[in-house]
Structure formats: C-alpha cells, structure tokens
Structure 1
Amino acid sequence: MKDSDRDWISSHPVFNSLPASDLVVLLQGVIVQDLPADAVLFSQGESPDFLHVLIDGRVGLIGEGADGKQVVVEFMEPGESFILAAALTNAPYLMTARTLHRSRVMLIPAKQLRERVSTDAALASKMLASLARHYRMLVRQIKDLKLRSATERLGCYLLALAEQRPAGPDASVTLMLPVEKALLATRLGTTPENLSRAFANLRSAGVRTSGATVTIADLARLRTASFSDPAIPD
C-alpha cells in the first residue's frame, strides 16, 4: 500500500475518527488492487473476506438470478465502501461486484474490521451510519421502482447527475452517462428498449442525447416531467 493510499483512508469519513495507532492495526493485511474494467472482485454467495473501499474508478453491484439473468443494483463511486453488511456479519455476499472502468480498490480484512468494531465505539458508530445510508439508498430505489415509470426514473437519475455539474451560461447542463446504456437500463429496472423510449419521452422536457452525452436544457422542466419530489435528506 502506498503512502498516498494510507493518507486517503485516514481521511475517509468512516475511518477518520480512528487514532493513528488504531488505524495502523486496522490496516495490517490491507491490499490495494489496480484492476482493469470487467474484473470481478467477489461473487454472489461467497463468504466475505474483505470490506472493499473504492479509491478510484466505478464498480457495479450485480444481482444474479437462478436463470443466469443479471441486473445492476447500484453503481459504486470513489469513496464508497461495499458490502459492509456482509463484512460485519460474516454473511455471504448477496451480490457480485465487478469493475465497470479501470479501478483502484482497497481491501480491508473483514475479520480485523469486526474485531476493531467490537472494541471501538466511535468506529462502530461510523459503521452504523454507513449502513443506514445504504439502507436508505435501497429504500429510495424500491420506492422509485414501485411509484415511478421508467421515464420518471430516468429523469430523476439525470437530475441527480446534473446536480454534480455546473450549469452553462444558458442554464443548460451537459453531462456524460457514467456507464453504457444497457447497464443503466438494468440499474433503472427496465430494458434497453424501454430506456430508449424513456429518453425519447424526455425530449419534450428539453433532454437531448448524442451517444453518451446528455444535454438538459431546463432542469425545472425535467423535474416537472419526472414528478421529482423535494429531496429528503439522508
């Protein structure tokens, strides 16, 4: 592990409460991997040997059915850890993790993590907060799947991406889809064909696409078309 990796994890919101001496103990046996796209970090059903923390890149958490069908449950962004619930309970992974781009991932031994959590109240509190955040994220997804159409789910997803981008001089926002549309379709709980229809439906709300580039002419119109509710804070 590079010194820069050690500095990065020491400033991570989950671990920054640890004294330096405790962090050294926790990081014993830590592995940092540089991985190409489409590398499997772990598979559904395997026992959790590590807590994975994404330093750079993007990872997809993928659910697999008995018939071999796969769906993307969530995209992991830099700074996020996964799958904490499995690592803390020593229960089998419920999803497969696969890199979507070149990625750098830190692997913290799950056994060491459980030992530290059992004796460190501050770390345990941070872990509970992280678990709660991911729980709320999944509840939001379930609500969207049950309450919104594919077009509305796409609109809300684009609005979330737009919040991370500065608006242009004409108040429009241009962004790049972070993954290919086929993967995005499974993340939104629809098919590639229905995703194409959803993009077409949003043209009247000022959404234009060119490959992976999406331009939103008017965020307010898109919010209206997506029936986007005021965000409930995490």
Structure 2
Amino acid sequence: MRIDFISDIVCPWCAIGLYSLEAAAARIPGLTLDLHFHPFELNPGMGPEGQDIEEHLAQKYGASPAALAGTRQAIRERGAELGFEFRAGARSRIYNTRDAHRLLHWADEAFGGAVQRGLKVAMLKAYFTEGRNVSDHAVLLDLATSAGLPEAEARELLAGDRYAEDVAAAEAEAHAQNIHAVPAIIINQRHLIQGGQSVEVFEQLLRQVIDTPA
C-alpha cells in the first residue's frame, strides 16, 4: 500500500502520525507500507540560528506558557505509548528544515523508500529525543551517513542547492491540494487523512481502503 506522507521534521504531530500509522499497519496481517516522505516546511523563512521554541510558539499561536506545557505533556504521553521519546527539554529551538528535506528527497530518489524512512526517523529522533540542530550541516551529514547514504555525495549536496527546486515544487503541490497543515497522509494516491490520529483511527481507514475496490 502506497503512503505519501507530507510532513516536517520539527513537527511533533508528524512523528506521532508516522508511529501511529505504522502501528496500525502492524495490526493488519500481510499489509506492507510503501512509504514516501514529502516536504512541508512549517517555517521556511527561519534563519540559520533558529528561534527559541517558547518564543516561537507564543508568537505563532498566541499560546500561554501553561497551555504550551499541557500540550508538551500530551505529546510526550502519546509518544511514550507509541515507543517514541519526546525528551523533556530537548526541543529548545525551532530550526529551518530546507536542507533536511533536500537530503530526504535525494534519499528517496536515489536509494528508495526504506532508506528514506531510516533517515526520516533518524532526523525525528535527533531533534525530539537528542535535541540536535537539524539545520546544522555537520548534524545532517552524520545522520545521512548513519542511514547508509554515501558521505561524499551527502556532503556535496549540502554544500550546494541541489533539489531545492524539487522541495519547493513539492510544497507548492501540497498547497495546491489545499494541504495547509501536517501531517497529511495520502493512501494509494486517493485517500487523505490529516493529523496525528490514533492507531485505531488509522487502522480503521487502512482496512477500509483494503476493502474498497480500486
């Protein structure tokens, strides 16, 4: 089953959505997901230094410190249920993710969905669990090589602007499809579901798609 997963690396609900989706698929005997990740930059204009996460969320959503704390706790609990650690304090800054998305595009195009998934998960863990700067080229190079991508090519890609136009085009296509929030998950290129849904909701939809004639 083909899954086109539109998301950003610094989006906690995207991590929850991915892990919920995969947990749902694991409940269905014989189902294999053909995952492909597509870019959606939540903050395309973010500078290389990033921004304090509390300041950023307060400016963007007008949320109070108490509301933000409650949301963080809910996210940590959802992650723990799914086997993903949102470590308290790890996400102290928000970063630009354009270069991370360029790497992900290359991984899928040159090496396939399985390699791309490995890199995507490594990026999510680097940011949410380890508190690493996912706009830093040294960090991205380390994640790419750890995921099995060739170091010399990854270094060359990061030094230039290769795939920048592809990332921009993919994001423009998402907006043209009225996708303005992530995660947005397209199943078999026909069925759209958005948000960090529960395992049960994803399972129900996957079973419906399986039972629906093509």
TM-score, normalised to structure 2's length?
0.25
TM-score, normalised to structure 1's length?
0.24
Q: Greater RCO between the two (CA within 8 Å, min separation 6)?
A: 2
